[in-house]
């Protein structure tokens, strides 16, 4: 009897009998009390009678519109989490559902792993895999653990920082710069020790924002795992890095939207959601000695020990870009938002056809990047005289969050790109045994 009282109740609403049956079996096997109905008109009455902690709601049903029913549920029972389910959904449907209060959105055919992970998050439980649980436990022990770095005794001790996530989910819509596909972004809070994870709307495969999962670095950083890939992650990661967000689930369809070419809208989204400190800490990475990577074309990037995190970028192009140099000293989210986040992606007119032949830059628009020809900037006024150098720093900040922890050291980069950033990260990891 005591076990029954402790069971959490889940209401499954779907007009397909086989879907309800399979979901009921899976969730019952996990110890949940499951009730279900094919009749959307009964849902509110069942919620009042059964008081479920979670509703799994099909978005397409013959009697009612799922989005309309979602609005009614959230209006009358705002504390009940609702996960929308659909066999005809895409990221735009997911974004719409989230805007109207859905906790999350998953697609049919429902993945077992994706379903259980979503249910556990919605019920405030830790992610279900043993590896994630182990990571969470390790994070909770971080207060007493020694920093995982080797460094001279004269260096300042590594700081431990509070892990952070968002207070609530937040959504954005936009277009992929390289794919040209209209896409969206849903950011969900995660518990301590989860890290930054990317997934699609089915949530069946996640790819951590980590160096081990870098799939390509041609004109953008792409992460890959088990057939799932997400591109152009660097601007969003730069924002998460600068705001200290350590645990987050990012739902996206193929490519993070480029927005206006800068990171400002990502900053605004993070601030809209609010940041929540979690009851766990992790240690920053303190650079122990100089590391340097030199590329064949004369590009170079290096890092050395320092009392803070900074990035100096040196750029030497022919006119109209010319010589630009900027040094950014990270003093927190507001310094990033004012100095680096507004700097936009840029590209040269002579390269556009080449990129499109490679299947890239198909989403480039005059409103989402700076276009340069041989004589001038074609489509906009610069936000900073050195906006191009600042944008390169934005890319560095994003790529350098792929070790999973904040880093302390002074970076100097000359004419480098994503491939060089990743190469230096690998040298650091090898040298420091991270």
| Digitized pLDDT (tens) for each residue of the chain, 434 residues in all | 344 446 899 999 998 998 899 999 999 999 999 999 999 999 999 999 999 999 999 988 877 888 999 999 999 999 999 999 987 767 778 888 888 999 998 888 888 888 888 899 899 885 433 334 444 444 433 333 333 333 333 345 678 999 999 999 999 888 756 455 677 889 999 999 999 999 988 777 899 999 999 998 977 899 999 989 999 999 999 999 999 999 999 999 889 998 899 999 999 999 999 999 999 999 999 999 999 999 988 899 999 999 999 999 999 988 888 999 999 999 999 999 999 999 999 878 776 656 555 554 454 456 677 888 888 888 889 999 999 999 999 999 999 999 999 999 999 999 999 999 999 999 999 999 98
Do 269 and 315 fall within a single domain?
Answer: no
Assess whether 256 and 389 both reside in one domain: no
Report the pLDDT value the prediction gives residue 146, as an integer from 0 to 100: 33
Same domain, 100 and 216: no
Per-residue HEC secondary structure of the chain comes to: CHHHHHCCEEEEECCCHHHHHHHHHHHHHCCCEEEEECCHHHHHHHHHHHCCCEEEEECECCCCEHHHHHHHHHHHCCCCEEEEEECCCCHHHHHHHHHCCCCEEEECCCCHHHHHHHHHHHCCCCCCCHHHHHHHHHHHCCCCCCCCCCCCCCCCCCCEEEEEEECCCEEEEEECCCCCCEEEEEEEECCCCCCEEEECCCCCCEEECCHHHEEECCCCCEEEECCEEEECCHHHHHHHHHHCCCCEEEEECCECCCCCCCCHHHHHHHHHHCEEEEEEEEECEECCCCEEEECCCCCEEEEECCCCCEEEEEEECCCCCCEEEEEEECCCHHHHHHHCCCCCCEEEHHHHHHHHHCCCCCCCCCCCCEEECCCCECCCCCCCCCHHHHHHHHHHHHHCCCCCCCEECEEEEECCCHHHHHHHHHHHHHHHCC
The angle, 0 to 180 degrees and rounded to 10, between the axes of the packed helices 43-50 and 66-76 is 30
Q: Tell me, what's the pLDDT at 352?
A: 66
pTM of the model: 0.79
Best CA proximity match to 361, nearest among 255, 206, 272: 255
Identify whether 201 is part of a domain.
yes
Give the torsion sign (CA, 164, 223, 216, 172).
Answer: negative
The pLDDT of residue 132 is 42
- Out of 122, 148, 177, pick the residue that ends a domain: 122
* 105 and 183 together in one domain: no
Alpha-carbon span 302 to 412, nearest angstrom: 5
Catalytic position from the list 235, 241, 391, 418: 418
91 with 205, same domain: the answer is: no
Which pLDDT value is given to residue 297? Answer: 83
Phi and psi dihedrals of 313, rounded to 5?
-120, 130
| Domain C-terminal end among 254, 281, 308 | 281
Let me know whether 390 and 265 are in one domain: no
Looking at the fold, whether 44 and 113 belong to one and the same domain comes out as yes
In the numeric block, the tokens 């499109």 are attached to 356
313 lies in the same domain as 368: yes
Q: Is residue 346 part of a domain?
A: yes
Task: Give how many domains the chain has, as a whole number.
Answer: 3
Q: Is residue 379 in some structural domain?
A: yes
How do strand 182-189 and strand 81-86 relate by DSSP bridges?
A: unpaired
Do 45 and 118 lie in a common domain? yes
18 inside domain:
yes
Would you call 92 a catalytic residue per the annotation? no
What is d(CA 372, CA 322) in angstroms, rounded to the nearest whole number? 12
Q: Cα-flanking dihedrals φ and ψ of residue 133, to 5°?
A: -65, -40
Residues 189 and 56 in one domain: no
Residue 7 located in a structural domain: yes
Is residue 139 in a domain? no
**pLDDT value of position 109:** 83
Q: What pLDDT is attached to residue 134?
A: 40
- pLDDT, position 292: 98
Find the CATH number of the domain harbouring 234. Answer: 3.30.230.20
Using CA atoms, how far residue 78 sits from 42, 264, 289, 348, in Å, is 18, 31, 53, 50
Please tell me the distance from the alpha carbon of residue 399 to that of residue 418, in angstroms, as a whole number. Answer: 7
CA distance 355 to 252: 23
| Structural domain includes residue 190 | yes
Residue 132, in any domain of the structure: no
Q: Residue 410: which of 313, 325, 332, 282 has the closest Cα?
A: 313
Q: Are 399 and 424 in contact (CB under 8 A)?
A: no
Domain with 20, as residue range(s), is: 2-122
């Amino acid at each position: 009897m005591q076990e029954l009282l402790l069971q959490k109740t889940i209401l499954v609403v779907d007009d397909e009998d086989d879907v309800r049956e399979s979901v009921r079996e899976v969730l019952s096997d996990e110890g949940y009390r499951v009730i279900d109905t094919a009749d959307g008109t009964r849902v509110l009455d069942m919620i009042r009678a059964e008081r479920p902690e979670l509703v799994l709601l099909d978005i397409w049903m013959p009697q009612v519109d799922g989005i309309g029913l979602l609005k009614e549920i959230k209006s009358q029972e705002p504390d009940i989490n609702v996960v929308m389910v659909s066999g005809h959904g895409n990221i735009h449907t997911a974004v719409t559902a989230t805007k109207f209060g859905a906790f999350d959105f998953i697609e049919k055919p429902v993945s077992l792993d994706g379903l259980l992970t979503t249910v556990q998050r919605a019920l405030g439980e830790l992610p279900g895999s043993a590896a994630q649980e182990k990571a969470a436990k390790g994070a909770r022990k971080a207060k007493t653990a020694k920093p995982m770095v080797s460094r001279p005794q004269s260096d300042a001790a590594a700081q431990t920082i509070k892990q952070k996530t968002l207070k609530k989910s937040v959504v954005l819509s936009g277009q992929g710069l390289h794919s040209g596909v209209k896409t969206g972004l849903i950011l969900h809070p995660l518990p301590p020790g989860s890290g930054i994870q990317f997934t699609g709307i089915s949530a069946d495969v996640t790819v951590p924002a980590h160096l081990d999962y870098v799939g390509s670095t041609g004109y953008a950083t792409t992460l890959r795992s088990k057939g799932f890939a997400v591109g152009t992650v660097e601007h969003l990661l730069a924002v998460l890095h600068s705001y200290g967000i350590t645990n987050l689930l990012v739902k996206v369809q193929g490519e993070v939207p480029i927005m206006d070419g800068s990171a400002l809208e990502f900053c605004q989204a993070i601030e809209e959601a609010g940041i929540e400190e979690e009851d766990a800490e992790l240690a920053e990475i303190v650079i122990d000695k100089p590391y340097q990577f030199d590329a064949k074309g004369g590009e170079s990037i290096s890092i050395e020990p320092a009392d803070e995190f900074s990035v100096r970028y040196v750029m030497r192009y022919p006119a109209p870009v010319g010589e630009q140099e900027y040094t950014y000293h990270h003093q927190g989210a507001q310094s990033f938002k004012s100095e680096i986040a507004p700097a936009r992606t840029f590209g040269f007119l002579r390269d556009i056809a080449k990129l499109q032949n490679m299947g890239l830059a198909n989403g480039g628009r005059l409103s989402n990047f700076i276009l340069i020809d041989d004589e001038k900037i074609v489509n906009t006024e610069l936000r900073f005289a050195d906006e191009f150098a600042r944008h390169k720093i934005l890319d560095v900040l994003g790529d350098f969050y792929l070790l999973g922890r904040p880093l302390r050291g002074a970076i100097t980069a000359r004419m480098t790109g994503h491939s060089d950033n990743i190469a230096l990260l690998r040298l650091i990891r090898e040298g420091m045994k991270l």
